[in-house]
């Protein structure tokens, strides 16, 4: 999947990649340099953090990565991720959200209860008190946003020392860093939810209020075609978008760097916001279909641009 449509190319400046200084981002504990870390940074700090590999294909953990070799230069090019970083804990993306019944209607992909999320983290072997670095394959925006959704939930439930590997496992492999295909040993963790930060989670009532009084702007994090109702996700009843919503679509939220999708820097997103008519000083609610793509839009607003009034509607 190519994440940078031609209309966005002037804004995708390569200088703002994973190693950039996120001057607008929130303060982080000394161990982590910011909400995003590069593959190279992680490689040099594996002993200081715990790595969570989040994805939707457990078979990938035991598969060798696939490369093709350029006949002229002899350079290797990654075509399919495989394996995992040594000592990483694996979390199946499908398990971090749950089905809930709201007003008699069964809804999938909702925020889990504190107790349910603790069970998932502990079963994966995640421990309390040690910084967490999240890696997903990141071969496309959907995969990249698996990492931001897990990040959002960890932050919501009280964890502060968290970061996402920009470009994920694909960036790690493209940098020539090692992976293993050994089975991940079972381990019981002791991670605990210590808060429920409702200041970053929008409720249905918040959405209704914003629709009525304009107290927050809506940021639509889905593909452009879904915004315009040209196509729609099978999980929603009707196409189109919330009235007045601004687009921060998947085509503009990340840029292609080799085989990976990577977030840009605050300067680039400020330009995109201006282009899209999004007011960075106004409260915002990011939404999509299931709170998946919305997590990427929220991550940009809250963690990269440093906005204090950014929420995500997990029930979208």
User: Which is more confidently placed, 287 or 314?
Assistant: 287
Per DSSP, the three-state class of 74 is coil
Neighbours of 120 (CB within 10 A): 20
Can you tell me the distance from the alpha carbon of 25 to that of 15, in angstroms, rounded to the nearest whole number? 17
| Residue 3 domain-assigned (yes or no) | no
Number of domains in the chain: 2
Neighbours of 184 (CB within 10 A): 18
- The alpha-carbon radius of gyration of the chain (Å, integer) is 19
Domain edge (last residue) among 139, 174, 209: 174
Residues 153/155/156/157 CA torsion (nearest 10 deg): 90
Whether residues 62 and 158 share a domain: the answer is yes
| Residue 292 domain-assigned (yes or no) | yes
| Residue 293 domain-assigned (yes or no) | yes
Identify the pLDDT of residue 315. Answer: 72
Per DSSP, the three-state class of 23 is coil
Can you tell me the distance from the alpha carbon of 131 to that of 277, in angstroms, rounded to the nearest whole number? 36
Identify the pLDDT of residue 30. Answer: 64
CA distances from residue 92 to 30, 59, 89, 143, 287 in whole angstroms, order as listed: 29, 11, 10, 12, 22
Can you tell me the distance from the alpha carbon of 67 to that of 75, in angstroms, rounded to the nearest whole number? 10
pLDDT digits (tens, 9 = 90+) for 261-286: 999 999 999 999 999 999 999 999 99
Whether residues 54 and 145 share a domain: the answer is yes
Q: Which of 230, 251, 255 is nearest to 240 (CA)?
A: 230
| Residue 89 domain-assigned (yes or no) | yes
Whether residues 224 and 116 share a domain: the answer is no
What six digits make up the tokens of 79?
């075509």
User: b/e string for 85-101 if b means 16 or more Cβ within 10 A?
Assistant: beebbbbebebbbbeee
Domain edge (last residue) among 129, 156, 174: 174
Confidence band, pLDDT 50/70/90 cuts, at residue 85 = very high
Whether residues 215 and 143 share a domain: the answer is no
Whether residues 205 and 169 share a domain: the answer is no
Whether residues 142 and 48 share a domain: the answer is yes
Identify the pLDDT of residue 108. Answer: 80
Whether residues 94 and 135 share a domain: the answer is yes
| Residue 117 domain-assigned (yes or no) | yes
Confidence band, pLDDT 50/70/90 cuts, at residue 16 = very low
Can you tell me the distance from the alpha carbon of 287 to that of 270, in angstroms, rounded to the nearest whole number? 19
Identify the pLDDT of residue 24. Answer: 42
Domain that holds residue 258: 201-313
Q: Which of 42, 50, 32, 41 is nearest to 184 (CA)?
A: 50
Identify the pLDDT of residue 176. Answer: 96
| Residue 194 domain-assigned (yes or no) | no
What is the mean predicted confidence (pLDDT) over 52-77?
95
Confidence band, pLDDT 50/70/90 cuts, at residue 7 = very low
Owner of token pair 């009034």 = 309
Q: Is the pLDDT of residue 160 over 90?
A: yes
50 pairs with which residues across the strands?
132
pLDDT digits (tens, 9 = 90+) for 17-61: 434 434 444 445 568 999 999 999 999 999 999 999 999 999 999
Q: In what order do the strands lie in the sheet with 246-247?
A: 201-202, 310-313, 284-287, 217-220, 246-247
Whether residues 164 and 66 share a domain: the answer is yes
CATH number, domain with residue 212: 3.40.250.10
Per DSSP, the three-state class of 58 is helix
pLDDT digits (tens, 9 = 90+) for 208-262: 999 999 999 999 999 999 999 998 888 887 888 999 999 999 999 999 999 999 9
């Amino acid at each position: 999947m190519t994440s940078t449509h031609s209309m966005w190319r002037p804004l995708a400046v390569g200088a703002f990649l994973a190693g950039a200084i996120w001057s607008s981002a929130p303060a982080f504990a000394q161990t982590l340099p910011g909400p995003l870390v590069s593959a190279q940074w992680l490689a040099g700090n594996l002993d200081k953090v715990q790595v969570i590999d989040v994805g939707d294909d457990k078979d990938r953990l035991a598969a060798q990565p696939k490369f093709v070799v350029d006949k002229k230069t002899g350079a290797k090019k990654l075509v399919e991720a495989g394996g995992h970083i040594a000592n990483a804990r694996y979390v199946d993306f499908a398990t971090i959200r749950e089905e809930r019944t709201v007003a008699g209607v069964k809804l999938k992909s909702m925020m889990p209860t504190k107790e349910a999320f603790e069970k998932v983290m502990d079963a994966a072997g995640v421990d309390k008190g040690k910084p967490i670095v999240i890696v997903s394959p990141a071969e496309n925006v959907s995969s990249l946003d698996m990492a931001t959704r897990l990040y959002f939930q960890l932050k919501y439930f009280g964890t502060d020392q968290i970061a996402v590997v920009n470009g994920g496992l694909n960036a790690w492999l493209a940098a020539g860093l090692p992976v293993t295909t050994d089975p991940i040993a079972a381990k019981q963790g002791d991670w605990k939810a210590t808060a429920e930060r409702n200041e970053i989670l929008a409720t249905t009532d918040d959405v209704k209020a914003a629709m009525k009084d304009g107290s927050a702007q809506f940021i639509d994090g889905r593909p452009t075609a879904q915004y315009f109702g040209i196509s729609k996700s099978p999980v929603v009843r009707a196409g189109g978008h919330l009235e007045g919503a601004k687009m921060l679509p998947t085509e503009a939220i990340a840029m292609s760097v080799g085989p990976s999708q990577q977030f840009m820097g605050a300067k680039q997103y400020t330009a995109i916001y201006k282009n899209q008519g999004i007011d960075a000083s106004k409260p915002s609610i990011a939404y999509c279909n299931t709170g998946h793509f919305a997590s990427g839009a929220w991550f940009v607003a809250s963690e990269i641009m440093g906005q204090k009034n950014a929420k995500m509607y997990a029930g979208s």
